[in-house]
Structure 1
């Protein structure tokens, strides 16, 4: 598949590639690794900003019963994150390139504990060599929950924050874990 690898992250499937991403509807520059505030743009705030740009009314996705789906997250502000547009968004980690961003608590519980807001839109994370790490000894936490399309015949009526799609470039993930099924982080051979 032209240099592509696919990993299972908890209950989600994520595509990763070493090829540079195409600039999409918007680019959000992450500037901070610490706690979210009105003056920061963390990875969590950038994900929330991308989702909000695609669902500004925080409306219930068609075919599901979830009310205000983006509010089921601890991250409900965009801080100083700018640049999100309607459509696919790129989250750029250039300002934190090569650094480790450590997480120790769940942001939400979409089908299990997740350290980052749900992926409810199309997002590419340009990691620039950064690492996302779940602190050792904090229990089971996965990095991402990727929302399903409740209108798809594969996931009809699925309780979801909205359809999501996530691509990771040059981003290392360590320590994430989700119990149930075969949920270990693993590379899929042959892809």
Structure 2
């Protein structure tokens, strides 16, 4: 029994013929991929046409492409050419998964892009903090400003910096906004472990 279980394929699949809304005659594949011991599946849709293959990594789009139009009544269709082309599509999907995965494995790629207004606000707080602010609060505020906030929060900081030209007063306004909005220091996601084939 153990030999039979160990002999099971790492991949399996099926095929179906689906008419596209645009009438294009393309062969495409959806792959559900397990990466190492990661507990979530990764999906890729690969469209093999006459030009460069198209790769889609959006999970919902992939699942939509894999959903049979007629549900379980959709007939299974997988001719020899489609079967053979699946191996080329798999290589494309695999390479895309490795590239995107390893991009997320690089900590530098996960660091936030800090907007100019927040970098300026952080520098003002660092250099012109109110006298009654303790160093821990200043450091925490600077860490809090090193984050990718939505535009509405950026506008709030722009307005606070525009109220006065006095940097100490600007720092006071920035600290007040951080407290009022309950903003916290940004924690970058943990990078994924790097993978190869």
| Structure-2-length-normalised TM-score | 0.22
**Structure ranking higher on relative contact order (CA contacts 8 Å, 6+ apart):** 1
The structure that is helix-richer by fraction is 2
The structure that is strand-richer by fraction is 1
Q: Decide which structure has the larger Cα Rg and report it.
A: 2
| Structure-1-length-normalised TM-score | 0.23
